[in-house]
Amino acid sequence: MKVNVQTPNFAAKDELLVFVEKKLSKLEQFYSKIVFADVFLKVQKTSEKENKIVEVLLSIPGDDVMVKKEARTFEEATDEVVKILERQLKKRKQKEKAYL
């Protein structure tokens, strides 16, 4: 799976990019048909502490899956997004097995 990370309006550190790619690559354990993942790391200009946004678009044959989370840090938001995607991919795989 190819992971494309985009960081509009700021420069992300290499450690953050490696962290995001590592977390998303684990999703292939749950669903092997993922083509690529587009990741958008955004900083919202607000006075709130939870101003880091992570959006992930997984390209899967049939249709795409999009998840967006906001948290205090990009790492927290990435963990939340990966948990949600993991659940969705497991459900999708179970549905496919049911039709076979």
Query: Max Cα separation, the chain?
Result: 51
Query: Into how many domains does the chain fold?
Result: 1
Q: What is the pTM of this model?
A: 0.89
CB contact at 8 A, 65 and 58:
yes
Which DSSP state fits 73? S
Give the burial string for 59-78 (b: 16+ CB within 10 Å, else e): bbeeeebebebbbeebbebb
Q: What is the pLDDT of residues 29-80, one digit of tens each?
A: 998 889 999 999 999 888 888 899 999 999 998 889 999 999 999 999 999 9
Q: At a CB cut-off of 8 Å and minimum separation 6, what does 73 contact? A: 52
Domain that holds residue 64: 2-99
CATH number at 14 reads 3.30.160.100
Question: Which amino acid belongs to residue 51?
Answer: N
Residue 9 has pLDDT above 90, yes or no: no
